[in-house]
C-alpha cells in the first residue's frame, strides 16, 4: 500500500514531470499533445478492470462493467485519434 | 511480494516509463509519431498483465465480463476514431476524455459502495470522494462539450442567475462530500446523491461556454480526468494510475493555460465570462 509521504512524493514528482514535458513545446503540437495525454490517462482501464474483477453483487458489477467499457473507449479512442492527428501533421509538414 | 504481484508491478513500472518517455517524444515534431507508439506499447503491457493481477478475486465470469467490456468499449472507440472526419477530431477527444473521467468516477463508486474505501483511513476516503467529484464533472462536462461541437446542443444557452445556482450546487457538493467522509461506511444514498450533484455541476459549468472556447475547456477536462485517475489510483493502490494520472494532470493544466494565453484569455475569463457564447455562434 502506497501511503502518507511516499504517496505525496510520487504525486509531487509526477506533477513536475508533467510540467517539464509540456514546458518548451511548439504551439502546433499542443493539440496532438492534448490528445496524447488524453490517451495516457486511459490507464484508468487497469483500475476499472481490477474494480470489475472484485465487484460483488449486481450494482457493483454493473458499475464496474460500465466503467471498464468507458475506460477501454478512452484508451483505444485516444490512441487512434492521436495517431491520425500526427499522421496528418507529418504529411502536411514534409 | 508474490510472483504475480512482482510481475504486475514490473509491468506497471515499464508502462509508466514508456508513458513519460512517449509524451516527451511527442513534444518534438520529428519524434512525435514514435512517441505515441511507445505510449501505446506501455498501455498494452499494463492492460495484458492486469489480467494476472493477484488483487482480482472474482472468478471466471468476472474475467469474461472484463473481456466483453473491453471488446465493446475498445471496438466502438476504434471504429469511431478511425472513421471520424478530421474536422471532428476535437469533439472526439472530448468524448474519449469524458469516458476516462466516467471510468475514474465508476472506480470511486465501486470502492465506496463496497465500503473498501473506508477501511484504510481518512486520506483515502477524501481522495476517493474528490476523485469521484472531478471524474464526474469531467464526464458530464466533456459530454456537453462534445454535444456542442457536434451541433447537437444550442450554442448559446444561459440560465438567468447561473452563477448563483452554480454556487449553491458547489456548497451542496461540499456538504455531501463532507458527510461521506465523516460517515463510517458512506451511506449509499449519500454517495449516489453526491455523484448526481457532480454530474449536474459539470453540465452547468459547460453549458454557457461557447464553441470557440471549447478547445481550452476540453484541455481543462483532460487535466481533470488525469487528476481523477491519479486520485483513484491512490484509492485502489495502483502506482501506474497515480503516475500517469498526475503527469497528465500537470501537463494538461499547463496546456490549458498555454492555450488560453494563446487566445489572449485567462481561464477564469473562459469559464465565467461567457464571451465565447457570441464567438461560438459566429463560428458555427
In tens, the pLDDT along A64-84 reads 999 999 999 999 999 999 999
Give the model confidence (pLDDT) of A10-55 as tens digits: 999 999 999 998 888 888 888 899 999 999 999 999 999 999 999 9
Query: Can you say whether the dihedral through the CA atoms of B240, B246, A42, B34 is positive or negative?
Result: negative
User: What residues contact A64, with CB distance under 8 A and at least 6 apart?
Assistant: A48, A51, A52, A53, A55, B65, B106, B110
Cα gap B162→B180, rounded to integer Å = 27
Structural contact between residues B117 and B210, judged by C-beta atoms closer than 8 angstroms: no
> Residue B277's pLDDT is what?
45
3-state secondary structure A14-83: HHHHHHHHHHCCCHHHHHHHHHHHHHHHHHHHHHHHHHHHHCCHHHHHHHHHHHHHHHHHHHHHHHHHHH
C-alpha distance from B161 to closest chain A C-alpha (Å): 33
Any idea where the domains of chain A sit in the sequence?
Answer: 1-28, 37-94
Query: What part of A 19-78 touches B (C-beta under 8 Å)?
Result: 19, 21-56, 59-61, 63-78
- Establish whether this prediction's ipTM goes over 0.90: yes
B34 touches A at CB < 8 Å:
no
Lowest pLDDT segment from A55-64, A76-85, B195-204, B266-275 = B266-275
**Could you tell me the pLDDT band of residue B279, with boundaries at 50, 70 and 90?**
very low
Amino acid at each position: 500500500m502506497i501511503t502518507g509521504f511516499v504517496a505525496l512524493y510520487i504525486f509531487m514528482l509526477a506533477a513536475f514531470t508533467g510540467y517539464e514535458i509540456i514546458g518548451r513545446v511548439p504551439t502546433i503540437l499542443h493539440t496532438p499533445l492534448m490528445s496524447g495525454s488524453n490517451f495516457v490517462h486511459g490507464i484508468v482501464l487497469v483500475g476499472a478492470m481490477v474494480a470489475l474483477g472484485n465487484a460483488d453483487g449486481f450494482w457493483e458489477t454493473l458499475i464496474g462493467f460500465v466503467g471498464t467499457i468507458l475506460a477501454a473507449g478512452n484508451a483505444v479512442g485516444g490512441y487512434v485519434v492521436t495517431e491520425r492527428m500526427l499522421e496528418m501533421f507529418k504529411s502536411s509538414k514534409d | 511480494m508474490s510472483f504475480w504481484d512482482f510481475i504486475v508491478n514490473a509491468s506497471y513500472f515499464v508502462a509508466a516509463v514508456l508513458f513519460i518517455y512517449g509524451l516527451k517524444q511527442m513534444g518534438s515534431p520529428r519524434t512525435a509519431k514514435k512517441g505515441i507508439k511507445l505510449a501505446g506499447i506501455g498501455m498494452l503491457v499494463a492492460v495484458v498483465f492486469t489480467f494476472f493481477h493477484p488483487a482480482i478475486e472474482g472468478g471466471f465470469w468476472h474475467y469474461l465480463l472484463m473481456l466483453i467490456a473491453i471488446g465493446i468499449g475498445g471496438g466502438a472507440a476504434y471504429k469511431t476514431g478511425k472513421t471520424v472526419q478530421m474536422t471532428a477530431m476535437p469533439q472526439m477527444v472530448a468524448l474519449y476524455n469524458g469516458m476516462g473521467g466516467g471510468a475514474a468516477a465508476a472506480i470511486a463508486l465501486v470502492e465506496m459502495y463496497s465500503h473498501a474505501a473506508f477501511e484504510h483511513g481518512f486520506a483515502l476516503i477524501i481522495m476517493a470522494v474528490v476523485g469521484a467529484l472531478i471524474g464526474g464533472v469531467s464526464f458530464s462536462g466533456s459530454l456537453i462539450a462534445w454535444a456542442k461541437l457536434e451541433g447537437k446542443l444550442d450554442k448559446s444557452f444561459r440560465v438567468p442567475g447561473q452563477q448563483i445556482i452554480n454556487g449553491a450546487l458547489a456548497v451542496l457538493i461540499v456538504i455531501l462530500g463532507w458527510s461521506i467522509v465523516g460517515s463510517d461506511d458512506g451511506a449509499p444514498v449519500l454517495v449516489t446523491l453526491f455523484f448526481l450533484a457532480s454530474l449536474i455541476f459539470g453540465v452547468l459549468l459547460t453549458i454557457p461556454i461557447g464553441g470557440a472556447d471549447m478547445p481550452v475547456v476540453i484541455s481543462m477536462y483532460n487535466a481533470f480526468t488525469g487528476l481523477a485517475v491519479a486520485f483513484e489510483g491512490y484509492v485502489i493502490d495502483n502506482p501506474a494510475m497515480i503516475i500517469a494520472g498526475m503527469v497528465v494532470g500537470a501537463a494538461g493544466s499547463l496546456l490549458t493555460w498555454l492555450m488560453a494565453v494563446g487566445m489572449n484569455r485567462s481561464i477564469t475569463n473562459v469559464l465565467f465570462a461567457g464571451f465565447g457564447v457570441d464567438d461560438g455562434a459566429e463560428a458555427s
